Amino acid sequence: MKLQKATRFGIYALLELARDPSQQLSASDIARRYAISTNHLAKVMRELGRAGLVEAERGVGGGYRFVANAKRVTLWDVVSLFESLYGETAEPGQDTETGQALGMVLGEMGEIAEATLRSITIDTMLRMRPRTRAADAA
């Protein structure tokens, strides 16, 4: 499964900021850490701001801060800001018997992906990273 760039950048940024909610980081600080486009990330940060997940502080030393509840915000909340897992437009042949059967299979896959994303909070992701590092070191 592949996420759109904006979704992936949004998750990167939220995890960086949520790790220490008292810190402020600029879009370019975060972009540098992940070697991604600052311009693209800046647009993503504005979307995260509109969703109430981060707040921008202006001026010298300004930047973004995480202002949501890391135990409540899930990956689904972030993904939903930037993309839909379900087709929103009609697909050719979708009303045929085969098209409907294919729709059932794709719907099942979407529901499982949605359940996974809805069950993983930002806090869980933050605690998953050290576990991943420990597994790499083992």
Partner 1 sequence: MAISKLDQRITGVSKPAYWQEMMRRYDGEAAEHYFLVAEDDGGALLGFVIGEIRAWEFGSPPAGWVFAINVDPETRLGGIGTRLFDEVCARFRTAGVRSVRTMVDRRDHLILSFFRSQGMMAGPSLQLEMEIPS
Using the rule CB under 8 A, which residue among 4, 96, 100, 124 binds partner 1?
124
Which segment (17-25, 28-36, 90-98, 118-126) binds partner 1 by CB under 8 A? 118-126
Which segment (23-31, 38-46, 52-60, 125-133) binds partner 1 by CB under 8 A? 125-133
Contact mark string toward partner 1, 68..87, x via CB under 8 A:
---x--x-------------
Which segment (11-19, 32-40, 99-107, 113-121) binds partner 1 by CB under 8 A? 113-121
3-state secondary structure the chain: CCCCHHHHHHHHHHHHHHCCCCCCECHHHHHHHHCCCHHHHHHHHHHHHHCCCEEEECCCCCEEEECCCCCCCEHHHHHHHHCCCCCCCCCCCCCCHHHHHHHHHHHHHHHHHHHHHHHCEHHHHHHHHHHHHHHHHC
* Minimum CB–partner distance for residue 8 and partner 1 (Å): 20
Using the rule CB under 8 A, which residue among 60, 127, 135, 136 binds partner 1?
127
Which tokens is 47 given? 């979307």
Q: How far apart are CA 1 and CA 63, in angstroms?
A: 32
**Contacts with partner 1, residue ranges (CB under 8 A):** 71, 74, 111-112, 115-116, 118-121, 123-124, 127-128, 131
